[in-house]
Chain A
Amino acid sequence: MSDSPAYAAYKRRIHRNLAFYGLGLAAFFLLMAWAERQGLSRVWLGPIFLFSTVMIYAAIGIYGRTSDASEYYVAGRRIPPMYNGMAAAADWMSAASFISLAGGLYLQGFSGTEAQPGGLAYVLGWTGGFCLVGLLIAPHLRRLNLYTVPDYFDVRFGGRWPRLIAAFAAVLCSFTYVVAQIYGVGLIASRLTGVQFEIGILLGLGGVLLCSFLGGMRAITWTQVAQYIILLLAFLIPVSWLAYKQLGNPLAPLVYGKQIEKITEIEKVLRDSPAERQVRRVWERREKEYEARLQDIEGALRRDRAAALERVRQLKARDADSALIVAAARELAALPKTPASARELWTRAMADAHERAKPLGGLPPHGQAFAGDPQGTPQEQQAFETSRLNFLALVFCLMVGTAGLPHLLTRFYTTPTVSEARSSVAWSLFFIVLLYLSAPALAVLVKFEVMQGLVGSSFDALPSWIGQWAKVDPALISITDVNGDHILQFSEIRIAADIVMLVTPEVGGLPYVVSGLVAAGGLAAALSTADALLLTISNSLVRDVYCHEVRRDVPPEQRVILSKFALLGVAMLAAFVAALKPADILPLVSASFSLAASAFVPVMVLGIFWRGATRAGAVAGMLGGLGVTVYYMLANSPAVRAFLGLEAGSVLWFGILPVSAGVFGVLTGFAIALVVSLATRGGD
């Protein structure tokens, strides 16, 4: 297609700016590497990286400031497809993709365990969903010249309720998602600069707000392009380095296949090694201990308390070192206060010991698809079936959720034409795949490094990074000499998914400047997604709720101002919720996918492809889908069950875990929308 001269000149200008930006970034990175060589301390390197990248984003935000409605909501609809693709990729790849994905693959291998599907399901689900976006949704929405996703329901079905329900669902799933992102921002900022978690949140939030508050979609788009480049570099540099170190070829995705086979070999050796078995027996014993305690909680608690009191008393009587007394007193204070909290704590500890008593510390064999064995005992066959079903269900939810998440769909409102919206989806997936091809590679390379380089070394000669990260938070990485032989076994390592990516540079022995870059990349991933989500929420509140329900005569400029202040309020609320640390990143993110999938996709697809879909059908379909998903999540949530006084446990349908609740929501949504539309045909 031939572009008009003005559009061509505009594109040339962007290409030039991007080239300057890339060169500047490379120069900055080399400067920092040189400074590290010259002896710049690590204490300074991390903050410098975080601060300067946030400043770049803020500068773009100030440069792109606008109060024009079209610019603020849809970036004037003139973003060329390739750049829109980059922005969508950054928008899409959140803290979960950047920080937790590689770690999840490290822990879960191909498909995760029976109780927790995962692994490649995330890789497949978060890329394959773009087929649905590209073929079924994005071009059709772009054709209608909309501003928000609830707008579609207004235009297609008319009336008040479709739009209001859509706005409610958009706010619900985006808010769940944004809390997870801000939590990620807080984690990275606090680890890298040593400030408190809450202050870390505020620092990151400052960057988000400067950008989206001033410039809306226009500023966010260009910031996201800048963030994409940082996060791509931050991911590819450590992976390539590791691949070069282990295999002599920096193109990790092409060559890491060999390492999978080596890992499978090492796994076999580890499974039969006597030292590993010894460690596993220790875990088994601990599991039994907790089981015994849970039989008689009050008694065990009383004995523990008495023993701890006795220790403190003895130490005081001996006039021992004050540090020892303080430690013993702290132990006493850390004992569970009530039988209920003791039950919770010990049940968790028992489950943990049970996992770690399994071969390989509970990690499934890396290259094997699904748990269990289709040719084994009935129990193993059952495990295989459930694990496969849950894997497929999770892939389905993530894919359909991709097609329903409002912050992603609005990205495709910003291209100049429908045909460019189509190309833009292809570019987005291309840019995402560049990173996603490397994530499984990273997991395999790190695992090989740990199995080959770390396991079997002496406890006196452990690398220093382990201690440093364990000091930040012992839940993230812990290494204990369980069987007391001073040699590190694989089952003695416990590493959390969120930390694998952040320690990769240190595992591979890279200079600290790469660690700084990785942290900056994680921050870019979290900020770019948070930006888009906050904008989606505030636009839904102002455009789809306030301007329809409360005051209809708001002029466009005032709408923009209202949107900006709504954004500020939502950001504060999200930061407040994130500071309470409600849950881990991945469960929050998965929940918002299930919500988006069941609320939007069935009705949206039916509305686009079937003229017979009616307003009543849309309302019933959205409410039904959302209702089923929310019910299934709540009915299986341990916290909610405890709150309602139900016995612990779960009510699973077909053995599908609550993380994939969207499966039922999507199917119900389709069915209800179809039936009600047929029943009310000709009625409205």
Chain B
Amino acid sequence: MKTNELIGHVDSDCFYVSAERVRHEHLRHIPVGVLGNQGACVIAKSYELKARGVKTGMPIWDAAPLCPDAVFVKRDFRWYEVLSRKLLGVIRSVSPQVEYYSIDEMFFDASALREPAESLQQRILQEVGIPVSIGISRSRTLAKLMSDVRKPFGCCTITDKEEIENFIHLQPVEELCGIGYRSTRKLHQHGIRTCWQFTQANRHFIRKLLTIKGEALWWELQGEAVIPILTERKKHKAIARGGSIGRPSTDRERLWAWTVRDAERLIEELDFHRVLVGELVMKLSYKTAGDWSRSVRFASPTGDFDKLLEAAHHLHLVACLELQGQAITHIDLVAERLCERGAEQRSLFEADEGNASIAQLKRATNEKLGRFALRSAATLPLTDIYNDEAFNYDVCDIRDKTCF
């Protein structure tokens, strides 16, 4: 990308809440919280709820007393995806290059934008119904910083080098996308607290301190676009499915049921991306704030559900032995060492995948009748979860995003 081009960043204001307000007008101007997968935690909050001290991730039993008149809404990722893609469509209509960064954020080439950011903002509000904040500048890092600063429902276009310098003078370094807690601490130790100070530091020093990613930010803050707009997501290095299992559990059957559910979701994703898995990792978190992780390497990459399940079962048994009595809170299955289907090195000592026809039947049935219509009987202990259709679609099921 040439450095004289402009990059825009569109960031939806409290996206999930705004999405709910599109279809339920009565939720406007009131404190609203969207609850996550288990109905326990606030995953999105309106500005009215935020003003009452409710934070993202807060359990409902803490949030409701803080704001007794708040209205809580059950999440609906299918609906959020509908609006997200609508938003993507509007941005694609004004820009030749758009990066679908996350469900509520997009980067776009703003060089040929024929209207001011405010007009685009109004158009999005009219066509999608979602309020957004827009930042436009010489790099994506600057654009994102600008849209963040102007939230909610603000626009910021700064392209002049001197004005950019004035702008970053006031911005704390921890506001940068990619600068987390540890990086912030490192920078603070060296007296670097603002984005401007970051740009004044020696580039090689920043690279040594924060690797090549830190150096990229250094260039970006100078107004040099070194991180391109990705119009297609990069190939997956790993694919994971899992997360919270609701109430912490020591029940082996229930834990195995969750593992099978995750395996079924994982195989769907492997099928969609036409990749095989070389190594399966199981990650567990347990109540005493510990983490556990083990993996199984396959003799040759596989996309066979039974092999995947066999490996997951082995890991499940090892976990039961090693974590006896620990209440598990999260289970994640991660497919690593991915390779494209047809490009794998086949093993001489492995039989062909025998149950492919069953897997195909399962896939065809579920495509026709709905996700999980046909599923492993091992998941029966989770009938309560499967009875709730909203459980069947998560934010990670929204494809093509570049963020995760």
* Bound pair (A, B): no
